Amino acid sequence: MEHWKRTMQIGNRYFAEGAWVDAREQYLQALALAQVLFDRWPDADAAVAALVVSQHNLADLHLQLQRPDAAIAHLRACHEYLLRAMADEHLSAGLRDAALRHSNHSYLRLLQVSAEYGRPASPVALNRGAPLSLPVQPTYH
């Protein structure tokens, strides 16, 4: 988890400096770590948050670069990853529950960005999306 945090912090610093390529590389490394370690971290909520933050930071980067389709692709990939995790009986119940909690945020962000840029969110994400009934507001970045 510490390696993911350091990678994300470096990416955030590059983002703040406008060093887009370097920020993207750090965010992609953080995403790879989050995916590889997804079911290995002792804290299920932290594991899911790391995946969501990585994808959402990549989406924010693409929005900054006026690439809404790429941003939406990251948001869609994030949400669909969480949907698969929720259904994966090989994962712990805690990890599946954390995926459910975070999926509310990922679905809402996907819908917001899609609507803002006049793009369809995705038939898959819309048809299989988690309900928005849980008032979960995790802190990202």
Other C-beta atoms within 10 Å of 89: how many? 6
| Count of structural domains within the chain | 1
Structure tokens at 38: 């997804």
pLDDT for position 131: 37
pLDDT tens for residues 87-100? 999 999 999 999 99
Other C-beta atoms within 10 Å of 60: how many? 20
Task: Tell me whether residue 3 is in a domain.
Answer: no
- Mean pLDDT, range 19-39, rounded to an integer: 96
Task: Tell me whether residue 72 is in a domain.
Answer: yes
Q: Which of 12, 13, 7, 9 is nearest to 33 (CA)?
A: 7
Alpha-carbon gap, residue 141 to 124, rounded angstroms:
27
Task: Tell me whether residue 15 is in a domain.
Answer: no
Q: Which of 84, 4, 91 is nearest to 50 (CA)?
A: 4
- Domain containing 97 equals 38-128
Task: Tell me whether residue 21 is in a domain.
Answer: no
Percent of the chain with pLDDT over 70: 84
Q: Which amino acid is at 60?
A: D
Task: Tell me whether residue 73 is in a domain.
Answer: yes
Task: Tell me whether residue 103 is in a domain.
Answer: yes
Asked if the model's pLDDT at residue 55 lies above 60, the reply is yes
Average pLDDT of the chain? 86
- Mean pLDDT, range 19-26, rounded to an integer: 97
pLDDT tens for residues 110-133? 999 988 888 766 544 444 444 333
pLDDT for position 119: 75
What is the band of 3 on the pLDDT scale with cuts at 50, 70, 90? Answer: very high
Q: Which amino acid is at 83?
A: L
Tell how far CA 120 is from the center of its chain. 18
Asked if the model's pLDDT at residue 43 lies above 60, the reply is yes
Task: Tell me whether residue 134 is in a domain.
Answer: no
Helices 44-64 and 68-87, interaxial angle, to 10°? Answer: 160
- Mean pLDDT, range 4-22, rounded to an integer: 96
pLDDT tens for residues 59-90? 999 999 999 999 999 999 999 999 999 999 99
